[in-house]
Structure 1
């Protein structure tokens, strides 16, 4: 029997628990390179060089497959962002912002497919994931920036007025940093963190 067919039959003997991570990895690879709309039971089976029943043994349909993929990648991003947005010094200087961008961009470099799925895909299937992740980032950045603005000497009334647009500036710049690193190989995480961390620090400091 030809090696190709033999390989497919052996693959089918893997149990669903061992096969599911492989299927999700294949789906992520397809989503990151071709878009979520390209993820189908057939495309995943082809990517793994198995038959469709092997995939169906793990996922009832494409919807279930995508739902678990998004859930898994959301968990990875939440773990990354928890590390990036850990509590920092209140009276922050430029180094604090540089360190934050460095931590963020290192996670992007380590998990480019996961970040590309969220920031590089316009597909509706990931819109909810993007929205939840952004809302979490805005909330955490708000908690971090409010006491920092006060420590920098901004009056309380101005803090409440200026906090939202300044947080949006910070979060939007972070999103731009992710897209830049994914799309432009000329930047390293270290270089981009130094540039944007310093720039955002001075922008926020000027607002006080």
Structure 2
């Protein structure tokens, strides 16, 4: 009886190390997005990227190092995207501010949904290091919003409390947009925010 030829493992094509690391980080992010942090492992990342375990270990010194690099990258990416989408602070007209911010924030979410789902979902199994980074970034954004609130509404309002409320609303509606972008489109959210902003200056 003749033996069946052994099926050869697919060969991972050679690529520059930076490209390989980016490929593996993207694969890890997809695994986290799909399966949560409980589902991420060297095996899962290798399978997602279509490579073998040694390829992963050749790029990163273990799972911990890979996830730390991913965390650094996603933090920089998210903060950069968010501050690019937020109003510059030059306008003091609440209606103008929300008309500028809402479409930009909506577009930001849909341009990179995997990044923002990982931040806004924040499930119970998120590692402490990730949760701490997210809270640190949230505080940074909150301080920016406080300054924006003071510039737009004046010193008579409690900017800290208002900023907390705005961040909570942004995060909630961000989750709605990611879950159902057609239902919660930019025009609908902008129109609602415009009505609210107009009531502040009556």
Say yes or no: TM over 0.5: yes
Counterparts in 2 of 1:4 and 1:109: CA distance versus 1, 3 Å? farther
Counterparts in 2 of 1:96 and 1:3: CA distance versus 1, 3 Å? farther
Counterpart in the other structure of 2:79:
78
SS at match of 2:11: helix
- Equivalent in 165, 175, 187 of residue 190 of structure 1: 187
Figure out how many residues of one structure are paired with residues of the other and give that number: 194
Contact in 2 for aligned 1:109/1:189 (Cα 8 Å) = no
Q: Relative to total residues, which structure has the larger helix share, 1 or 2? A: 1
Q: Which runs of 5+ in 1 are unaligned?
A: 151-155
1:118 shift after superposition: 0.7
Matches within 5 A, 1:42-61: 42-61=43-62
* C-alpha distance in structure 1 between counterparts of 2:24 and 2:187, whole Å: 33
* C-alpha distance in structure 2 between counterparts of 1:141 and 1:176, whole Å: 16
1:129 shift after superposition: 2.4
- Equivalent in 163, 167, 189 of residue 163 of structure 2: 167
Matches within 5 A, 1:12-161: 13-122=14-123, 123-124=126-127, 125-150=129-154, 156=155, 158-159=156-157
Q: TM-score, normalised by structure 2?
A: 0.86
* C-alpha distance in structure 1 between counterparts of 2:96 and 2:62, whole Å: 48
CA RMSD of aligned residues (A): 2.2
- Equivalent in 8, 11, 31 of residue 9 of structure 1: 11
After superposition, give the CA deviation of every residue in 1:110-150 in whole Å (9 maximum; x if it has no partner): 00000011111321242122112211110111111112222
Counterparts in 2 of 1:183 and 1:4: CA distance versus 1, 3 Å? farther
Q: Which runs of 5+ in 2 are unaligned?
A: none
